[in-house]
Structure 1
Amino acid sequence: MSSHTHARMSFAARLAAIGSAVLLLLAGLFTGTASAHGSVIDPGSRNYGCHDRWGTDHLNPEMATEDPMCWQAWQDNPNAMWNWNGLYRENVGGNHQAAIPDGQLCSGGQTEGGRYNSMDAVGDWKATDIANDFSVHLYDQASHGADYFQVYVTEQGFDPTSQSLGWGDLELVEETGSYAPATDITFDVSAPGRTGRHIVYTIWQASHMDQSYYICSDVNFTG
């Protein structure tokens, strides 16, 4: 075999290896999306909001000044936004407060190997303007339904721009019954007495197995 032929074969082998590595990387990036379920899209969860606003432009340096909390999240782990529908834990058995430590509520207790840790970052996340009577809209691409939803809202006086979220900062304002499998589930919530910035914390207990989703949505109660 000539040296040129050997060189061409070696180059082709290297290209094939690189191609395989890229395919494996892409598969790893998107594995969670196909097998995951959904999230609250209104008022949007932190990672859904970052994906919605920057998913097609996530390398734009202007994000650092226009949307700094999303910027830190994209820098920490872009897969947290590509897999905005995969923030869950399994086999919690309904004992959510034992499973999720204070300061880690928005990451589901640093679930999925820490993929969503940036969701716990304290700062001025983009907030959705809502009234005290509002609706929660879950988008569930896998249509697994729900055993229940629990919706908490931070107490008046809590400042999500400067305080880490703990269970003691929350009031349970809504607990639903079960929902049949559906792509879109919407239900009404009332959180009287709130004004200004707050966090709406939604626990979605999926019905197909013991799989619990933990969702932080930043809101501004307009009164």
Structure 2
Amino acid sequence: MRTSRKLILSIAGAATLAVSASMAALAWGHGYTSDPPSRSALCADGEVTNCGAISYEPQSVEGPKGFPAAGPADGEICSAGHDSFAELDDPRGGNWPTTPVSAGPKTFTWTMTARHATATFDYYITNANYDPAQPLTRDDLGLTPIASFRMGGAQPDHTMTHTVTLPARTGQHLVLSVWNIADTANAFYSCIDVDFGGDGSGDPTDPPTSGDPGGTGCDAPAWSSGSVYTAGDEVTHGAAAYRAAWWTQGETPGTTGEWGVWRRTATC
């Protein structure tokens, strides 16, 4: 009887560890397009706020692969169908920050936090039907990739770059980059807002100097090394405004990095 009880407890413990490991893998995610900055990257960097959970895990936009025949539903492509990342599907009235581009070769960079065996990286771009004030659908896209990079199951580097030849477009458009995993049924999705009216410099438009809607931005008080800050608190420091992602004290804004506590919200 005692042996049976030990066996049951051992099995239960192993199952708990397996579930925990699975949940941890999902939570910490795997990769996103960082340059030009995707919507995920903009949220993580604090250039766009009120983003919800994606601010803390831009690498986790994972959904079914097989796009465009399969994959996320129309209107949910940028979030890969995740309700918790629905902010990525919100067009915000067409006001996501854009990267100036022009027709011709453009370098796209992925940042990886887990190096999965890879089938392809595919890139799509919106067509003349695209309205940046509406959620992205398949009707908005050319459904043949403008570029596809095959890896045959190899693992990517922690930073992957691709040279994509952009076609001629006018005005604001969206590039959808899809990382298709070789040994699972999933892919990672990144939506990148671009503007063909720009100079092609590849730099995102400056965040507003007054801060994001609902925030105090440059009107926030100056950061103090001795003060305690909690999630949502805003400060200014070094000609910029920041918002705290969690409890902190003594950590200088602008020095905590992409995954740190302070998220930049404006240039002051």
TM range (shorter): 0.5 to 0.7
SS of the residue aligned with 2:160?
strand
The percent of aligned pairs where both chains have the same amino acid is 28
Name the counterpart of 2:32: 39
Q: Give the structure 2 partner of residue 159 of structure 1.
A: 131
- Note the C-alpha offset of 1:44: 1.1
- Secondary structure of 1:49's match? helix
TM superposition shift of 1:97: 3.7
Report the RMSD for the aligned CA atoms in angstroms. Answer: 2.4
Which of 73, 76, 94 is the equivalent residue of 1:101? 73
Q: Secondary structure at the match of 1:71?
A: coil
- Paired AA for residue 166 in structure 1: T
2:42 to 28, 31, 49: 49
Q: Residue type matched to 2:78 in 1?
A: C
Q: Deviations over 1:68-115 (max 9, x none)?
A: xx3342xxx2x21101100102xx352544332111111112x2xx11
The aligned residue for residue 174 of structure 1 is 147
Change (3 A) 1:169 1:93: closer
Structure 2 residue aligned with 1:189: 164
Q: Structure 2 residue aligned with 1:139, among 111, 115, 135?
A: 111
Residues 121 and 95 of structure 1, relative CA distance in 2, 3 Å threshold:
closer
Q: CA deviation at 1:158?
A: 2.1
2:84 aligned residue: 115
TM-score (norm 2): 0.57
Alignment of 1:41-80 (within 5 A): 41-54=34-47, 70-73=48-51, 77=52, 79-80=53-54
Bigger share in helix = 1
Distance 1:145 1:135 in 2: 22
8 Å contact from structure 2 (residues 129, 139) kept in 1 = no
Q: Distance in 2 between matches of 1:34 and 1:117?
A: 16
CA deviation after TM superposition for structure 1 residue 190, in Å: 1.4
The reply to whether residue 84 of structure 1 matches residue 55 of structure 2 is no
> Residue 85 of structure 2 aligns to which amino acid in structure 1?
Y
Are residues 210 and 94 of structure 1, via their aligned partners in 2, closer, same or farther at CA, if it must alter by over 3 Å? Answer: same
Contact persistence 2:44–2:57 (CA under 8 A): no
> Partner letter of residue 213 of structure 1?
F
Distance in 2 (alpha carbons) for counterparts of 1:135 and 1:195: 19
**C-alpha deviation, 1:146, in angstroms:** 2.2
Determine whether 1:206 maps to 2:175.
no
Distance (whole Å) between structure 2 residues aligned to residue 108 and residue 119 of structure 1: 9
Cα separation, 1, equivalents of 2:158 and 2:165: 23
Aligned residues: 170
Answer yes or no: is 1:126 the counterpart of 2:97: yes
Q: 1:185 to 1:194 in 2, by over 3 A?
A: same
Query: Structure 1 counterpart of 2:163, which letter?
Result: D
Distance 1:42 1:149 in 2: 15
* Greater RCO, 1 or 2 (C-alpha within 8 Å, sep 6+): 1
CA–CA separation in structure 2 for the residues paired with 1:115 and 1:159: 24
Q: What are structure 2's unaligned runs of at least 5 residues? A: 1-19, 201-268
State which drifts further: 30-39 or 191-200: 30-39
**1:71 & 1:191 partners in 2: Cα distance?**
29
Which amino acid in 1 is paired with 2:148? E
Query: Matched residues in 2 for 1:147 and 1:52: separation?
Result: 29
Q: What TM-score do the two structures reach when normalised by structure 1?
A: 0.68
